[in-house]
Amino acid sequence: MKNVMQYPEVCPFYSWHDSKCLASLHMMSVSAPTARHKCGNEDHDGCPIFLSKMLRRI
């Protein structure tokens, strides 16, 4: 199982251990400033990669 934090205020697809975006098709690396700004708060639903993941689920 992948190491994904499960808190409502952070992105459920960001792996803090690996600094990887699990919502990305290629699990791209995310820089620390981007992770803090996009992945580490409750505004992660404005992230285009997060939104793409949600649309792929439909």
pLDDT at 55 over 80: yes
Return the pLDDT at 8.
57
Is residue 22 a contact partner of residue 44, using CB atoms and an 8 Å limit?
Answer: no
At residue 1 the predicted structure's pLDDT band, cuts being 50, 70 and 90, is very low
- Look up residue 57 and give its two tokens: 């689920």
- Look up residue 27 and give its two tokens: 């699990």
At residue 6 the predicted structure's pLDDT band, cuts being 50, 70 and 90, is low
Return the pLDDT at 30.
86
Backbone angles phi, psi at 46, to 5 degrees: -90, 0
Domain ranges of the chain: 14-57
* pLDDT 10s digits, 7-49: 457 888 988 888 899 998 888 898 888 888 888 888 888 888 8
Backbone angles phi, psi at 20, to 5 degrees: -120, 145
